[in-house]
Amino acid sequence: FMIECRQSGGKTYYLSFNEGKKRNTIKIAAYGDVTFDQAKKKAQQLRSKLVLGEDPAAEKKAARAVPTYGALADQHVAHARTYMKSIKTLEGYMKRIRKRWGKVRLTDIRQQDVAAWLAELRREGLAPATVEKTRIIMNRSFQLGAQWEVPGTDRNPVRGVPRVKFSNAREMYINAEEAERLITAAEGSRNTQLADIIRLLLLLGMRVSELLSMRWENIDTEKRRLFIPTSKTGRSRTLPLPQAAVEVIERQPKPGGAVYLFPNPRNPKRHLTTIKHGWQAAREAAGLKTLRIHDLRHSAASAWINNGVGLATVGKLLGHANLASSARYSHLADDTLMSAVEAGAAKLKIAA
């Protein structure tokens, strides 16, 4: 156990030991950072490891090889770029995680500290769903790190953190009369494409991004089908076109060289990217102030199910990755069954 005193005035505690014919040293701490007794105790611990055949120097080297969460986050985002259409949302969540953990080595991130941090985000007013998504993304980083054998990811400090409980279920379904009011309001919009966009969303149950980016080359009105090459789930699908949808599509302007079904009026070579402003005005004019664009997709599913279409078929039309995603509409199927038995009872006129 020794202390090195340099000409500059700096002092450092070391443990000096023989390793075969070679003399090695292990740095303990700077003189002013710890007391003499603390340095001596650490030297005794290191000596015990050496006597037992362990290699403290190698352990220290291995510890230095462990990257920070920021480095792991870089790899996570780079991986996401290979299969995600847009990583804007992921980067937004990563910014929050990096702010707290970016400079911390992976082995220094403790489960209790992660749990406390997530609880703090809740207290700061962050929505439960946002906090849970943050937890999921950070957990995914460690999962990917373990898969890539990144040092320090063999233990995942996020895995044992309880899931943030919340209910994000909110589905609104509009009926035929409400749909008519909405379309009538959209007809008066400065966006001349808005009414037909709403019609197709209600008829086909497509995601608005899928419809706005639809290319003419993927539409066949003669065979009455529409091909969606990619989607949120990463899967392609083909939709059959009801006659009403065919009529809406065929009346869209199609100048020579047209690429998109709904081109951007300012740049016809690009597709329309948003209907936000026109949508907000139309829904308010129709008296449907809380209606979301995505609710048109729910309304399409509602119409199918209440006309006897099974959940598996609805899931396929909507492009769900699994049946569980379609299960949220099961109560609609129950309503349809209830109507059926009530109609049967009325027909038979059986009194209780």
The closest alpha carbon to 109, from 78, 131, 79, 141, belongs to 141
pLDDT of residue 333: 63
pLDDT of residue 341: 67
pLDDT of residue 338: 67
Looking at the chain, how many residues does it have? 352
d(CA 9, CA 28): 18
d(CA 95, CA 86): 16
Residue 326: half-sphere exposure toward Cβ, Cα within 13 Å: 22
d(CA 54, CA 65): 18
Say if residues 71 and 43 touch (Cβ distance below 8 Å).
Answer: no
The CA R_g of the chain, rounded to the nearest whole Å, is 31
- For the chain (352 residues), the mean pLDDT of every run of 10, in chain order, is 92 86 85 92 88 70 80 96 86 96 94 95 91 95 95 93 72 88 96 96 94 96 92 79 95 89 91 94 95 92 84 84 68 65 70 56
d(CA 298, CA 300): 5
Which residue segments constitute the domains of the chain, with CATH numbers given?
A: 2-65 (3.30.160.390), 69-147 (1.10.150), 176-342 (1.10.443.10)
The closest alpha carbon to 15, from 36, 35, 39, belongs to 39
d(CA 98, CA 89): 14
pLDDT of residue 18: 80
d(CA 274, CA 280): 12
d(CA 45, CA 52): 11
User: What does the block give as tokens for 151?
Assistant: 């040092």
Say if residues 304 and 317 touch (Cβ distance below 8 Å).
Answer: yes
pLDDT of residue 129: 87
d(CA 296, CA 175): 10
User: What does the block give as tokens for 166?
Assistant: 């919340």
From the centroid of its chain, how far is CA 336? 33
d(CA 200, CA 205): 8
The closest alpha carbon to 288, from 201, 186, 182, 148, belongs to 182
Per DSSP, which regions of the chain are E strands? 2-5, 11-19, 22-30, 219-220, 225-228, 237-240, 263-264, 267-271
- Amino acid letter, residue 147: Q
User: What does the block give as tokens for 249?
Assistant: 């599509």
Say if residues 151 and 104 touch (Cβ distance below 8 Å).
Answer: no
pLDDT of residue 53: 74
Distances from the Cα of 232 to the Cα of 53, 58, 83, 252, angstroms: 54, 46, 11, 26
pLDDT of residue 134: 96
Residue matched to tokens 């303990």: 28
Distances from the Cα of 55 to the Cα of 38, 43, 66, 86, 199, angstroms: 21, 13, 17, 46, 71
